Structure 1
Amino acid sequence: MATAAPRGGLLGRVKPLDAILATAEKKSLHRTLGAFQLTMLGIGAVIGTGIFVLTSEAAQKAGPAMMISFVIAGFVCAVAALCYSELASMVPVSGSAYTYTYAVMGEVLAWMVGWALILEYAVGASAVAVGWSGYFVGLLKSWGVIVPEALAVGPSGGGLINLPAVVISLLITGLLILGTKESARFTSALVLVKVVALTAFIILTLPVLNGSHFTPFIPNGWGTYGVVGAAASIFFAYVGFDAVSTAAEETVNPQRNVPIGLIGSLLFCTVFYLLVAAGAIGALGADPVRNAAGAVLAPGSAELTQQCQSIVASGATEPLVCSREALAHVLRSIGYQRLGDLMGVAAFIALPSVVLMMMFGQTRIFFVMARDGLLPERLAAVHPKYKTPHVVTAFTGIVVTLAAAFLPVGQLADYSNSGTLFAFAMVALAVFVLRRQDPSRHRPFRTPAVAIISPLAIIGCIGLYLNLPFIAKMVLVVWGAAGLLVYFGYSRSRSHVGRGILDVPEADSDAPPQPVPPMPGAPTPGYRDA
């Protein structure tokens, strides 16, 4: 096993890259994936929750110009993905952006990235659970079963608690503790359900497209509650593209096929999203709802909920921006009642798997951080019977459930995006830094024109972050400040790397960590259990 002393990074301790790569060599995978397989993998990973649940949020911010928002978000994802791919091909082990940052820029930034990924995965899972709840409640209503408003939405929507979102979050937490995993065949079937449902939506809505619904095209300008702000929210619809990046180790000729898979899948998904958005806008319109003074109302706000209720009470058709099940609502509004129900059924079937995958991703990040000593090692405990990290899974489930119970989907998606954008910006920076620090290291995939792509990714992520709503930006700031308090108050003194203990995950996860030479000024390390 390779060992190396932790070196000083951009902001301190760096986890030895050679040791991490030693793990990858032990578990190296057979290269079988070509450009087509990677493209299909990316399409399956990307198409999902965002387009089902955030269409109404985007319409409230950007109106018909949400079509431009999809293009902006897709472009930022593409340049970030190219940076992601280089590190994923070099460091093909668990931990995602957290591990990459640890290996390049040091423990402090790695901690901040891992801390931010909690927003991406846990809060993102809450957003999906709330989105699922909207379709589930709408489906029951269409069948004559009314869920009381007090139990169907959180306080901002005029209710008390989103009970369906709570139930689905708890059920999935239980499944993860029991060790239930999705098979590849089951996952592929769910992807097919989503693609067929959205294709049917396009086929049914485009023929009834009304050109007048596209004017004014940019009703709210380009700011936070305009086109770029909608792009910052819609970014959630593209999360998952990193599945292509992390498959670089299994790709034939990754330098050629990874960019094709990434750009091809993102291009396909962007066009697909544009067609869905065009169908929704053309069939029902996407005029933002305003208050009496003509000011656009914030998505998810109590004021918007009240205004929407007034519109419906007047006998008018519920606007697209008011619906909690946007695509099913569009189909029902143009006369396809039962097909609208089928859209609800598709969301009912497919979206819980997304909650499961996001919660699994969160527990994996927690698990790796705990194994590095940065979080209490009790979190990395494995259940003696089910062989799952039950403590961290239960903790994650509680966080997801509480957020889903009381917050609206748009706010949750924005909070999730703030963490994701920070993590992706750090990955893009890490690629640039490592090119200068270690230019001769073998890279199965090299980001093309890195001096252009990396800054574009960083600028794009920062630009979208700055156009999130103020509270979403502050969530990342406050959450990050809390994370630094935890790091300096607890994690820094217990870090394995800081204490000179090298813990190689994955293949050697059951073996005691090996000692490495200490950093200057660090105490002499000894052996201890991971």
Structure 2
Amino acid sequence: MSVEPLSPTHAGGLFRRKPIGDRHGPQLNRTMGTFQLMMFGVGATVGTGIFFVLSSAVPEAGPAVIVSFLLAGLAAGLAALCYAEMASAVPVSGSTYSYAYATLGEIIAMGVAACLLLEYGVSTAAVAVGWSGYVNEALVNITGLQLPQAILAAPFGTPGQETGIINLPAVILTLLCMLLLIRGASESAKVNAIMVVIKLSVLVMFSIIAFTAFTTDHFADFAPMGSAGVATAAGTIFFSFIGLDAVSTAGDEVKDPQKTMPRALIGALFIVIAIYLLVAISAIGAQPWTDFEGQSEAGLSKILEIITGNTVWATILALGAVISIFSVTLVTMYGQTRILFAMGRDGMLPRTFSRVSAKTQTPVNNTIIVAIVVSLLAAFVPLDYLIDVVSIGTLTAFIVVSLGVIILRYRQPELPRGFKVPFFPVTPILSIIACGYILANLHWYTWLVFALWVGVFIAFYLLYGRKHSVLGRMLAGEDVDADDADDAEVAH
């Protein structure tokens, strides 16, 4: 790929742009193919939503939650097409952060990085929290023993919610993922692919059993909360589409990324939407929508238990969820470490974040740091406080990618692309509108948390990142190659 030459616009301070094709600094090994990368997308997405978000979304929209899934899926689909083009044009680690750096400028990229780190960090913790419910459900069904509440929940929660001291299973899950990621990206991808097959199998099993109790009466009061409820639920459900973004974080570790990444993104999208709709329709057909509230812990297993009158199938689903939600945590942790790696390589974070182990070819420092932060979130923050915060980060990232496609098409039409968005510029514009519509319906306190977090990141950039930027130093004529040599010595 040709590298875009530096020009006066790059030297524009806060809005200087990184040349497309620049691979300066530490590199990762390209070991993943299309199937493994597609399974990364499915692994990070399916499970995050279906296994426990129905208990939050159905009470908001009623049976019309199916429309909410379609709305969220439409927005995600439009954005996925934009991601496919950007990933083929800018095939490096860092996802939307790297795309924004190449199209919108350095300070915008830092704001996007804030969105991504919030999105990945919080979603990983939220999934780990949900995992605890399935661990406990499986243990009760198999042995009759129940884990103490003190080690199953955070020390505070919403009114009426049971609390504990620490969510210990969530911490254990995070540490297990950390150990696997440290071993290597290829090993992690293989384990994830196995987990995804198990995950899809148990969800198909759930749907088959749920359809045996299906009744159209449960769809009679289709939209009790009106269009506002549908939109609110779509915002909550959007939390479950974060996995598509995880595919784009692997740009430095994929074989033939210009072709592989678009194929993996679009393939993962079709699998995700299909399985979500299948499970949502069968679940609502099997159980009145008013019964979903309060089923946040192991909700689908409870439905099977009610339908069959025994715990056998519920136990199988719970065990499948224990295994499959592991894959969500694994991939979202992976994504966050690669974003931090890209930022460290660009000088936006201290150099420790860009260092790669010579033995495993993974950013070990990042993996340990992410595991510690996620463990603390998962241990002490309840799931209800986490889901909408993830949605706002995801939606913002999707909007930036869609905008980036438009800018790059006009700024560099000759740039090699392995995939082009169909119906340009209508598709990226529709993506921006759809994501903006869902954003507008998120709760005000979600916006407040988001604004504070982005503000902190921009302040960090102005105090640290702007001065240490590799691009800025190159433009100033400094020799940054010596830093790479130092990092190589440290890695060995």
- The TM-score by the shorter chain falls in which range? 0.7 to 0.9
Whole-angstrom CA distance in 2 between matches of 1:244 and 1:371: 20
Once the two structures are superposed, what CA deviation does each residue of 1:21-75 show, in whole Å capped at 9, x if it has no partner?
A: 9999x99999x96xx9998886566433221121111112112111111100110
Q: 1:285 aligns with which of 267, 284, 288?
A: 288
Counterpart in the other structure of 1:526: 479
**How far 1:381 moved relative to its partner?**
3.5
* Counterpart contact for 2:67–2:230, Cα < 8 Å: yes
Q: Identify if the C-alpha distance between structure 1 residues 60 and 321 changes in structure 2 by more than 3 Å, giving closer, same or farther.
A: farther
Counterpart in the other structure of 2:489: none
Whole-angstrom CA distance in 1 between matches of 2:180 and 2:188: 14
Once the two structures are superposed, what CA deviation does each residue of 1:481-528 show, in whole Å capped at 9, x if it has no partner?
A: 01111010111111111112xxxxxxxxxxxxxxxxx2xxxx442343
Counterpart in the other structure of 1:313: none
Counterpart in the other structure of 1:210: 215
Once the two structures are superposed, what CA deviation does each residue of 1:198-253 show, in whole Å capped at 9, x if it has no partner?
A: 11111111121133322321122233xx1111111212222323577778974898
Matches within 5 A, 1:157-306: 157-160=161-164, 161-177=166-182, 179=184, 182=187, 184-223=189-228, 226-242=229-245, 250=256, 258=262, 265-287=268-290
**How far 1:386 moved relative to its partner?**
5.7
SS of residue in 2 equivalent to 1:8: helix
Counterpart in the other structure of 1:53: 52
Whole-angstrom CA distance in 1 between matches of 2:62 and 2:356: 48
Whole-angstrom CA distance in 1 between matches of 2:374 and 2:259: 39
* Counterpart contact for 2:36–2:193, Cα < 8 Å: no
Once the two structures are superposed, what CA deviation does each residue of 1:180-211 show, in whole Å capped at 9, x if it has no partner?
A: 86355433321111111011111111121133
Over the aligned positions, Cα root-mean-square deviation in angstroms equals 3.2
Whole-angstrom CA distance in 2 between matches of 1:271 and 1:243: 19
Matches within 5 A, 1:430-449: 430-449=404-423
**How far 1:179 moved relative to its partner?**
4.7
Once the two structures are superposed, what CA deviation does each residue of 1:343-367 show, in whole Å capped at 9, x if it has no partner?
A: 0000111211221221111111111
Counterpart in the other structure of 1:144: 144
Question: Taking structure 1 as the reference length, what is the TM-score of the superposition?
Answer: 0.80
Whole-angstrom CA distance in 1 between matches of 2:191 and 2:369: 27
Counterpart in the other structure of 2:398: 424
Q: Is structure 2 residue 302 aligned with structure 1 residue 329?
A: yes
* Counterpart contact for 2:56–2:293, Cα < 8 Å: no
Partner amino acid for 1:210?
T
Whole-angstrom CA distance in 2 between matches of 1:77 and 1:472: 20
* Counterpart contact for 2:82–2:401, Cα < 8 Å: yes
Q: Identify if the C-alpha distance between structure 1 residues 158 and 28 changes in structure 2 by more than 3 Å, giving closer, same or farther.
A: closer
Q: Identify if the C-alpha distance between structure 1 residues 179 and 62 changes in structure 2 by more than 3 Å, giving closer, same or farther.
A: same
Partner amino acid for 2:163?
G
* Counterpart contact for 1:7–1:16, Cα < 8 Å: no
Whole-angstrom CA distance in 2 between matches of 1:67 and 1:323: 18
Counterpart in the other structure of 1:413: 387
**How far 1:326 moved relative to its partner?**
0.9
Counterpart in the other structure of 1:379: 353
Partner amino acid for 2:295?
C
Q: 1:463 aligns with which of 427, 437, 440?
A: 437
Gaps in structure 2 of 5+ consecutive residues: 485-492
Q: 2:448 aligns with which of 474, 477, 484?
A: 474
SS of residue in 2 equivalent to 1:182: helix
Of 323-332 and 443-452, more deviation after overlay is shown by: 443-452
Whole-angstrom CA distance in 2 between matches of 1:236 and 1:195: 19
Whole-angstrom CA distance in 1 between matches of 2:440 and 2:465: 30
**How far 1:464 moved relative to its partner?**
1.6
Q: 2:18 aligns with which of 12, 15, 37?
A: 15
* Counterpart contact for 1:101–1:110, Cα < 8 Å: yes
* Counterpart contact for 2:58–2:292, Cα < 8 Å: no
Whole-angstrom CA distance in 2 between matches of 1:258 and 1:53: 29
Counterpart in the other structure of 1:71: 70
* Counterpart contact for 1:119–1:418, Cα < 8 Å: no
Once the two structures are superposed, what CA deviation does each residue of 1:332-388 show, in whole Å capped at 9, x if it has no partner?
A: 111241100110000111211221221111111111111111111123344576654
**How far 1:471 moved relative to its partner?**
2.4
Counterpart in the other structure of 1:118: 117
Partner amino acid for 1:153?
A
* Counterpart contact for 2:45–2:243, Cα < 8 Å: yes
Q: Identify if the C-alpha distance between structure 1 residues 57 and 6 changes in structure 2 by more than 3 Å, giving closer, same or farther.
A: farther
Whole-angstrom CA distance in 2 between matches of 1:16 and 1:62: 45
Q: Identify if the C-alpha distance between structure 1 residues 21 and 209 changes in structure 2 by more than 3 Å, giving closer, same or farther.
A: farther
Q: Whose helix fraction is larger, Structure 1's or Structure 2's? A: 2
Q: Identify if the C-alpha distance between structure 1 residues 111 and 283 changes in structure 2 by more than 3 Å, giving closer, same or farther.
A: same
Whole-angstrom CA distance in 2 between matches of 1:357 and 1:40: 10
Once the two structures are superposed, what CA deviation does each residue of 1:133-191 show, in whole Å capped at 9, x if it has no partner?
A: 11112222333212222321221132132221122223323443455863554333211
Could you say which structure has the larger radius of gyration?
A: 1
Whole-angstrom CA distance in 1 between matches of 2:473 and 2:257: 37
Counterpart in the other structure of 2:459: 485
Matched length: 470
Question: Taking structure 2 as the reference length, what is the TM-score of the superposition?
Answer: 0.86
Q: Identify if the C-alpha distance between structure 1 residues 332 and 417 changes in structure 2 by more than 3 Å, giving closer, same or farther.
A: same
* Counterpart contact for 2:79–2:431, Cα < 8 Å: yes
SS of residue in 2 equivalent to 1:52: coil
* Counterpart contact for 2:258–2:417, Cα < 8 Å: no
Q: Identify if the C-alpha distance between structure 1 residues 172 and 119 changes in structure 2 by more than 3 Å, giving closer, same or farther.
A: same
Q: 2:367 aligns with which of 385, 388, 393?
A: 393
Counterpart in the other structure of 1:508: none
Whole-angstrom CA distance in 2 between matches of 1:473 and 1:366: 24
SS of residue in 2 equivalent to 1:375: coil
SS of residue in 2 equivalent to 1:359: helix
SS of residue in 2 equivalent to 1:51: coil
Matches within 5 A, 1:306-385: 319-334=292-307, 335-382=309-356
* Counterpart contact for 1:120–1:417, Cα < 8 Å: yes
Of 382-391 and 467-476, more deviation after overlay is shown by: 382-391
Percent identity between matched residues is 39
Q: Identify if the C-alpha distance between structure 1 residues 74 and 368 changes in structure 2 by more than 3 Å, giving closer, same or farther.
A: same
Q: Identify if the C-alpha distance between structure 1 residues 330 and 93 changes in structure 2 by more than 3 Å, giving closer, same or farther.
A: same
